[in-house]
Structure 1
């Protein structure tokens, strides 16, 4: 998942996630369960598979030359991760919320021997990822710190939120440090923005990891740039 300047791709990804939940793994693919804290792969590992996320949340990270960590993306239900750089993975990938994954063997996909429907789904996912990544970089450059945090919450809500009366609730299994490293902010800035959104009556925190959106229109307004 990337945070973009709009949420136009969210419905398509959500539909794909819903359909994926109903489908068994295709031939030449494996369904796997991964506990929180386990790794799917490390940077530099040979990329033998790409992965579809059925449930849970994954975190893709890199450690920069100065030792700082950068969260590249989060893998949510409906996302496909593990597209390689050449033959190797270019990030680490670990599980932040117990996940059910479908592993597709690259050799099958590249030779065209796999299921045609799976091929097409993965192709569309790759094209969506490229577009979302480009939009994410623009968002990081154009939006203020508070707009970035509001956009992040809006994106998670649109992807994983559930209605609760007139409100929407969703889980945030990633830490505030994860969010900061993803948005290019400090942990203090992320926490301060959460506090502001709470004081303004836009969100409520049932627990540090459970968000209740009280005013979706206000959250949308808080996420948008003025230009």
Structure 2
């Protein structure tokens, strides 16, 4: 017999899955808008950020109601508490994707061009998208190993971030006409690095749900 709590928990998982799907799309479109200097696509990402916010608000209410009415304990309670934290992390990631899209719009509105085709930033974005994807799947499946594997990719993102910033700083020194654009791209790399950090937070929550222990995967 399926408990009413299990049905409600399934709805919470579905909300997180929807948030994750929208987040993956937002990251992809935000970086694509930047690579192509597509302000229209950038504005679309910024508009859709509100959808993630709305899902988070609804999830918060659902979880609060479940805790108050069902009084879950042990693993059930950990699942709900972690769901709140995961949703918060995803909302922040959506904001960061919106920041990337906003960078695109600002560049276009100020008639600023990229000095070369973007390469490493889209690579970073692909890794962060995969981290988000695996993070949500590991939550739904209770897969600790997948969560830990996803978190390890944060080191790869950190290394790429350092390489990108180093390259851009050198360009600012030697080609000062590109200083402002280079600085904006440094911020974009930082936004992606922060998205990966939030994804790692999700991995830590999965480990907590399944083991009851807090771990630091950063």
Normalising by the residue count of structure 1, what TM-score does the alignment of the two structures yield?
0.29
Q: Which protein, 1 or 2, shows the higher relative CO under an 8 Å CA cutoff with sep ≥ 6? A: 2
Normalising by the residue count of structure 2, what TM-score does the alignment of the two structures yield?
0.30
Which structure: larger Rg? 2
Which has more strand, going by share of residues?
1
